[in-house]
Amino acid sequence: MPEETTHRAPAWLTEEYVKKKLRIYFKNDTLNVEKLEIRPATANGENYASVMTRIKVEYTTEDSKDKQKTTFLLKTTFADKDPAAHLLFNYGIYTREIDMYEQILPLLAGIVRDELHDSRKLFAATVNVDRERDSIMFEDLSLEKYKVACRVKKLDLEHTHLVLEKLADFHAAGAVLAERQHGIFEKNYDRGFFNKHIRGYEPVMKNILKALSRTLELNKNLKERYQGKIDRLIDNVMEYGERSTSVSPGDFVTLAHGDIWTTNVMFQYDDEGHPINAIFIDFQFSVWNSPAIDLHYFFSTSIQENLRLQHQTELVQYYYYKLVKALKKVNYSGKVPSLFEFQLQFRAKAFYAVFSSLIFEPTMVYNGKEEPSIESFMTTDEKGVRLRDAVYQTEENIKKLPLTLPFLDQWGLLDEM
């Protein structure tokens, strides 16, 4: 059953606006928009920090009177009146993503193309950046048959390996870019979901953990084993999260994507249905930190259960060898950790797996009737509690808890830290 899309297009997104932007993009002042069709491009539950709109355009130019057709995507923030906009603004995510698309991503793409010799796309090309309206217009990669995998079914090993390969290249390019342009990531790249400046997500995280605690009432065994630990975690989640993202001496650090999960990756396939390229989208939470936070977040939210629970160590090894190979190609001069050191770094950041799997993952795969929003996760009223319980008490989530909680508990991640 198709998921509903309900958001409205911005009032300023008119034919005249699109014409001006496309004239600049195509470098043709004679371009005229003949027809404009605007539709939502993301379904409910796919993105809580922004709105994606698909723009279908028919246009003519002086050189060609025949109508030409193309499609673009427009990414915009929430309306100013939405509580989510205020919360997210304090994290600097809107200016950060614009900076990424204007300044950083083209440089990273050049390194990947020219030094890693990978001609595949790394991200969608930018049509226009509008800082006044906090919006970015992209090429529509669905025209090249890129598509998002199912956030509920998650990724198999073939897709997972491809994402790890591209993520290793992304991290290597970010590390060497920081070497070559000192200070490029000093401003506004220190505010991920956990940071030393703001705790805007604190009510969201605590409320979702409270929903988990209530859900444990449905299973006597799980309640006895874990409810006390979860209740204690509610009071400490921000402190533990901030510890997990603190950079320790000797850590390998780079530009982390910061929000790498199924819906923020698009795949291109060959004729036999095998994925041949993966591109990353949504760089609002990109942050200068350990690449381990990307790995924990990706593993906890996006890969199939048997891979997440049984194969993480070997997946880290797979990523590590790809990273080392890429760092060597770009002549990175910093210290490259050994595999043993990197596995220790991955373990040291492991609380990120608690946050990702117990707080964000249930909201990401929720596919029920209630319409989730950041506001609904923040409020303490009856409607918000009902929504959060619905998110946590899906049949799939109830089945996963007896696997996820022991997995995290065996690492000591649910005890006092």
Whether residue 18 contacts residue 44, with contact meaning beta carbons closer than 8 Å, is answered with no
Query: Where is 313: in which H helix or E strand?
Result: helix 312-329
pTM of the model: 0.91
The residues spanned by each domain of the chain are 15-76, 88-123+149-410
Separation between Cα atoms, residue 412 and residue 410, nearest integer Å: 5
Residue with tokens 């997972």: 160
- Taking only the tens place, the pLDDT of each residue in 292-321 is 999 999 999 999 999 999 999 999 999 999
380, pLDDT greater than 90:
no
44, pLDDT greater than 80:
no
Separation between Cα atoms, residue 246 and residue 274, nearest integer Å: 38
Q: What is the mean pLDDT of residues 82-91?
A: 70
How would residue 78 be classed by pLDDT, with cut points 50, 70 and 90? low
Picking from 57, 55, 214, the residue whose alpha carbon sits closest to that of residue 137 is 55
Query: Where is 309: in which H helix or E strand?
Result: helix 305-310
- Taking only the tens place, the pLDDT of each residue in 197-245 is 999 899 999 999 999 999 999 999 999 999 999 999 999 999 999 999 9
- Taking only the tens place, the pLDDT of each residue in 147-201 is 999 999 999 999 999 999 999 999 999 999 999 999 999 988 999 999 999 998 9
6, pLDDT greater than 60:
no
Strands, E, within 106-216: which ranges?
Answer: 126-130, 135-139, 147-148
60, pLDDT greater than 50:
yes
291, pLDDT greater than 90:
yes
**Other Cβ atoms within 10 Å of 45 Cβ, number:** 22
Give Rg (Cα) of the chain.
22
pLDDT for the residue numbered 299 = 98
Picking from 412, 44, 415, 103, the residue whose alpha carbon sits closest to that of residue 255 is 103
Q: Which residue has the higher pLDDT, 48 or 324?
A: 324
Separation between Cα atoms, residue 52 and residue 354, nearest integer Å: 29
Q: What single-letter amino acid sits at 86?
A: H
Whether residue 134 contacts residue 80, with contact meaning beta carbons closer than 8 Å, is answered with no
pLDDT for the residue numbered 357 = 97
- Taking only the tens place, the pLDDT of each residue in 17-43 is 999 999 999 999 999 999 999 988 765
CATH architecture of the domain covering 88-123+149-410: Alpha-Beta Complex (3.90)
Tokens, residue 66? 């025949």
User: Listing from the earlier edge strand, what are the strands of the sheet with 265-269?
Assistant: 147-148, 265-269, 275-280
φ, ψ of residue 35 in degrees (nearest 5)? -155, 140
Whether residue 366 contacts residue 391, with contact meaning beta carbons closer than 8 Å, is answered with yes
85, pLDDT greater than 90:
no
pLDDT for the residue numbered 100 = 93
